[in-house]
Amino acid sequence: MALLSSRFDFRIGLLASLSMLAIQLPAIGEESGEEVFRPKPGKFPPLEKAHSYRGELVFVDHATRRGSLRVEGKNAFRRNEPQPFALLPYAIVRYHGAPADLRDIPLGTMLHVRAFLPPDPKISSVPVLPINNKEKKSGYGDPGTAPAENHVLLLEDEMSHCQREGLVWKLKELEIENYQGLIVARREPTEATTAPAQEETFSFDASTRIWRGRERLGISDLVDEGTWPENGKKPLDGQVVQLGITWRPTPGGVFTRFHISDIWLDDTAINRAAQLQAENHKAFIRSRWVPAWIDEVEYGKFGSATVTATLFGGIDDSLYADFTKDAKMLMNPVENTLKHTEGGSAGPTQMSAKGSILEVTKTEEPPLGSSGIQICFATDLITEGIRPPRIVRVRPANWPDVHLPREEYMRDGAASINERFPSPDFFPKY
């Protein structure tokens, strides 16, 4: 009965057809004959083809996995208009060296971005810009501050970026007065190298958090214990740390200078921050399910089917380990925003396809975005939306059966076009 209502809902059918049409239409830009790369459904785009930049997280719409970043250029940072971005369905977000959701990252955090042109400009949830926009000057901004590559594969804070790339910050010198001041630091590989190190001057102030072992300290604590002077300069002799970086308005006509929000002084402190974030994300994924896409469906009789799906990457290993051969599992279609499309108001479990995992296959060194894990799943009642290259969410049956908050699912049979394909009009024009 549930299947009948799902299959014959005219509105959903119409929307699905529209979405399929949109996926197959050529994207703007290719027509001009220029060589542009856009991710294709069913293929993880290679990281080396991504455009990389960094910027300050200024706005978040976590329910539709999009937001805005003030992208760093060479001129006055504060004048750069917030640039909308959307996370690709298989995007990886990392915060404090652990998997994260967009909602976990505080506004103001400086993030490293690897992004692509919109896979399908017609259904982009953020403004579609001319493909050469990263070379253009926009408004008061400077080149590179409004890239058309606004569909993100990898979004990571400074600590996550450094850990992935094997980098550390080495503190060179500090100047302090009244618990605030400047620090000169270099970002260097952990392994000795002859490559030139990048030196940067940062501000810090009385709100900068210092993490040492299991302690959370303030600048005043370091001054009180004599580690840092109360006034004046001090060489820090290349002390190895990890930094959390934000931006604050700068006096003195400085174009761009970033601010240190956090300093992790040792590995214990770094690992504790990562562990906390990992636990937070594990609870999040257990309640929202692991995203995946459909590689193949072999249809059987009377609604039964065998489905092959690839689990998306960037999630804690313990979650993947819960997908085991012969275990019971549920699979529910979702939109590109990863919002559950079926059975939301009664919980995603109600309308999902249920069955058993026939096989779990692992491939070595998967591309970023993929876990490298394929599951083969047999269900006796396949639901609309479970077909290549659509996105689904899956959960082992022993994960908690919970209902999601209203903004994270579509209303059964009555979702608006804007709910399925969020409009870029949402973003302010400056």
Partner 1 sequence: MRRLHRVFDISFDYPCWTLVLAGLLVVYSGSFADEPAKPEESEPEAFRPIGGEFPPLEKAHSYRGELIFVDHANRRGSIRVEGNGKFFRNDPHPFAILPYGIVNYHGAPADLRDVPLGTVMHVHAFLPPDPEISAVPVLPVDNKSKDANHNRGAGIFPAENHVLLLEDEPSHCRRKGLVWRLQEMEIKNNEGMIIAARLPKQGEGGEVEEQELTFDAATRIWRGREFLSIEDLVTEGTWPAEGKKSLEGQPVLLGITWKPTEDGIFTRFHISDIWLDEESLDRAAHNQTETHKAFIRSRWMAAWIDDVEYGKFGRATVTATLFGGMDPSLYADFKKDSSALMNAVENNLKHTHGAYGPAHMASKGKILEVIQTPGEPPLGSSGIQIRFDTDLIIEGIRPPRVVRVRPSDWPKVQVPREEYLRNGGPSVEERFPSPDIFPKY
Applying CB under 8 A, the residues found at the interface with partner 1 are 58-63, 70, 76, 78-82, 103, 106-108, 140, 179, 205-207, 209, 211, 214-218, 221, 248-251, 272, 275-277, 279-280, 282-283, 287, 345, 400-407, 411, 416, 418-419, 426, 428-430
H-assigned helices in 8-151: 10-24
Question: In angstroms, rounded to a whole number, what is the distance separating the alpha carbons of residues 281 and 43?
Answer: 25
- Nearest distance, CB of residue 64 and partner 1, angstroms: 9
Both structure tokens of 377: 């799943």
| Minimum distance of partner 1 from residue 99's CB (angstroms) | 12
Q: How far is the CB of 278 from partner 1 (least distance, A)?
A: 8
CB 207 → partner 1: shortest distance, Å?
4
Q: In a 3-state reduction of DSSP, which class is residue 424?
A: helix
Nearer to partner 1, 30 or 230 (CB): 230
Q: How far is the CB of 174 from partner 1 (least distance, A)?
A: 18
Residues 6+ apart with CB under 8 A from 380: 302, 303, 304, 354, 355
The CB-of-320 to partner 1 minimum distance in angstroms stands at 18
Looking at beta carbons only, is 176 or 382 nearer to partner 1? 176
Phi then psi for 83, rounded to 5 degrees?
-105, 120
Tokens of 300: 């059987």
Q: Give SS3 for 210.
A: strand
CA distance 119 to 153: 12
Spell out the SS3 assignment of 220-281: HHHHHCCCCCCCEEEEEEEEEEEEEEEECCCCCCCCCCEEEEEEECCHHHHHHHHHHHHHHH
Q: Which two tokens stand for residue 298?
A: 């072999």
